[in-house]
Amino acid sequence: EPEVTQTPSHQVTQMGQEVILRCVPISNHLYFYWYRQILGQKVEFLVSFYNNEISEKSEIFDDQFSVERPDGSNFTLKIRSTKLEDSAMYFCASSPWTANNEQFFGPGTRLTVL
């Protein structure tokens, strides 16, 4: 069964450093998302991406964040200058031909900012 994959599973970085989190969505999906979950808190929407552009973003997704689909398979989330409060689990999700379909989530990347 196809699945969303994410790498790395755990990333440790120093405050102020740039990180890139990688996701490989399910191959025929068209809608892509990033969410995050701070430890013990609820899952929060960050950004949605369709047709090679951002379709919606939350207040969390400020200028420090960017997303890219550099080729036909990868979907990346970049944080330019990490802060302590960026420490969280980051989940990538993808959805097939209509945004109303279910979203398929990856296993997540745990980001720890020291």
27-66: contacts with another protein (CB under 8 A): 31, 33, 35, 42-45, 48, 50, 55-56, 58
Q: Which span sits near another protein by CB under 8 A: 11-19, 59-67, 72-80, 99-107?
A: 99-107
| DSSP run (H or E) holding 31 | strand 31-37
Closest CA to 86 of 95, 74, 76, 78: 78
Nearer to another protein, 14 or 41 (CB): 41
CB of 31 to another protein, least distance (A): 6
Instruction: Give the span between the Cα atoms of 72 and 52, in whole angstroms.
Output: 10
Nearer to another protein, 14 or 100 (CB): 100
N- to C-terminal Cα separation, the chain:
37
6, 87, 114 from 84: Cα distances, Å: 22, 6, 6
CB of 37 to another protein, least distance (A): 9
Can residue 22 be called a binding residue for another protein (CB under 8 A)?
no
